[in-house]
Amino acid sequence: MTERQKFDLVKKIPKTKVEIRRYHSCVMADVLVEAPYEQAGSLGFRPLVTYISQNNIAMTAPVLQESSDSRSWIVSFVMPAEMTIKDLPNPRNSKVALRTIPEQLSAALPFSGMTTTSKIQEKEAELREALAKEKLTPVGSLRIARFDPPWKPGFMRYNEVILDIKD
Instruction: Say if residues 75 and 41 touch (Cβ distance below 8 Å).
Output: yes
- pTM for the structure as a whole: 0.95
CATH label, 3-165, candidates 4.10.490.10, 3.90.1150.10, 3.20.80.10, 3.40.920.10: 3.20.80.10
Residue 59's pLDDT band, with cuts at 50, 70 and 90, is: very high
Residue spans of the domains in the chain: they are 3-165
Q: Write the CA distances from 31 to 56, 63, 106, integer angstroms.
A: 19, 11, 22
Of all residues in the chain, the percent with pLDDT exceeding 90 is 93
Cα 151 to chain centroid, rounded: 19
* Mean pLDDT, residues 104-118 taken together: 96
